[in-house]
Amino acid sequence: MKTGRRRKKEPAQQPAPPQPEGEQKPTTRAQSSAGIRPRAKKPTPSRAPTAQPARMKQAVLLIVIGLVVFACLAVLLSRACQGSASTRTVYLPATANGSWTTTVRLVVPQVEVRGGWRADCEADPLCTVVPGTCETREREDQATEQKVDEYEDYAYNIYYEETEGKLYEAGADTFVVTQLSGRREWRDGDLHYISEEFVDQDTCQYTNYTIWITDPEDDAYEIEVVLSECEVWDHVIVMQRVGEQDEYCQTEIEGAMGVQDTLTAQGIGAGVEWPDPIPPAGGRLERDFEGRVVFRADGARHEVTVADADKYVRYLTIPYYLGIDEEGDVVDLTDTAP
């Protein structure tokens, strides 16, 4: 409520500008030229260099480069002639001996047994409920809340100014603007409390306290208004947690594929054999082959390792030839007669 008193705002005091420091007097032209500059030395004339030594250096450099290129070409030609003379290869028929190892792995889905909710398991195609293991429980992860109570509690008194609609509290020697507390929540067991403060306008009564505020019609003036004292109340809502019922069971969940068993067989020669297990239900068989073949010809020896059974048998059943150089090293293996 306005009292009718009005006053002009006191102008804010501006801080005094800083005092300028003593100004430096500009240096006069006479003062700047008072120093004595040293006398510049005259450049000493030099003779123009002759072009004859430079030409001689270029000629010598070209001769050296030509000699280096000639030497490199001679070395390369000599090596090429020697290489062509030493690359003669002789092909000899070879005998072959081989050994093999076959492996069969039984790969099946890995099953994990654990507890879980029936509804979640039935929604997963890899999950199966173990019959006879279910019991009814309350699901905490799917609980909901229902309002079971609502009430209001008195909190405290506060001062209210209706012109600007602001709240005030008494300070040491003046009134200061304040505001209500925000939304508060807390839990007590299954109960969830939600509280929010509000000003009960019906309880407001004018007091003898006044304050000065900016005139809403002219901000160059202030007006005097009367503060009201009002009651602040807490509006409290009580929610109760309600859990859903579901069956909790033992479940089997299929995970990644894993090796259940590994079978191996070993032998020599071209008669390769494989283990013959029964394929597991819902699983598969994985096969691996490793063969080692040793070729010999006139004292030379050459060994190869293969991961293909057909290629291994071909090495042992078809004539092969070893290519041997003049130093006795094996440089080639072929099934084509030379």
Predicted confidence pLDDT, tens digits, the chain (338 residues): 787 888 988 876 666 666 665 545 444 444 444 444 444 455 444 444 455 667 777 777 888 788 888 877 876 776 655 554 456 889 999 999 999 999 999 998 888 899 999 999 999 998 999 999 999 988 877 788 899 999 999 999 999 999 999 999 998 888 999 999 989 999 998 899 999 999 999 999 999 999 999 999 998 999 999 999 999 999 999 999 887 889 999 999 887 788 888 999 999 999 999 998 888 777 889 999 999 999 999 889 999 999 999 999 999 999 999 999 988 889 999 998 77
253 CB contacts (<8 Å, ≥6 apart)? Answer: 111, 112, 113, 114, 116, 121, 124, 126, 127, 128
Q: Are residues 273 and 202 in the same domain?
A: no
Q: Is residue 10 part of a domain?
A: no
Q: Please, are residues 136 and 148 in contact by the beta-carbon 8 Å criterion?
A: no
Domain that holds residue 72: 54-87
Q: What's the rounded Cα separation, in Å, for the pair 37 and 42?
A: 15
Q: Are residues 58 and 164 in the same domain?
A: no
Q: Are residues 163 and 278 in the same domain?
A: no
Domain count, the chain: 3
Q: Are residues 146 and 270 in the same domain?
A: no
Q: Please, are residues 254 and 111 in contact by the beta-carbon 8 Å criterion?
A: yes
Q: Are residues 262 and 327 in the same domain?
A: yes
Note the residue count of the chain.
Answer: 338
Q: Is residue 177 part of a domain?
A: yes
Final residue before a domain boundary, out of 219, 249, 279: 249
Q: Is residue 198 part of a domain?
A: yes
Q: Is residue 15 part of a domain?
A: no
Q: Are residues 211 and 124 in the same domain?
A: yes
- Please state, as a whole number, how many other Cβ atoms lie within 10 Å of the Cβ of residue 227: 23
Q: Are residues 143 and 244 in the same domain?
A: yes
Q: Is residue 131 part of a domain?
A: yes
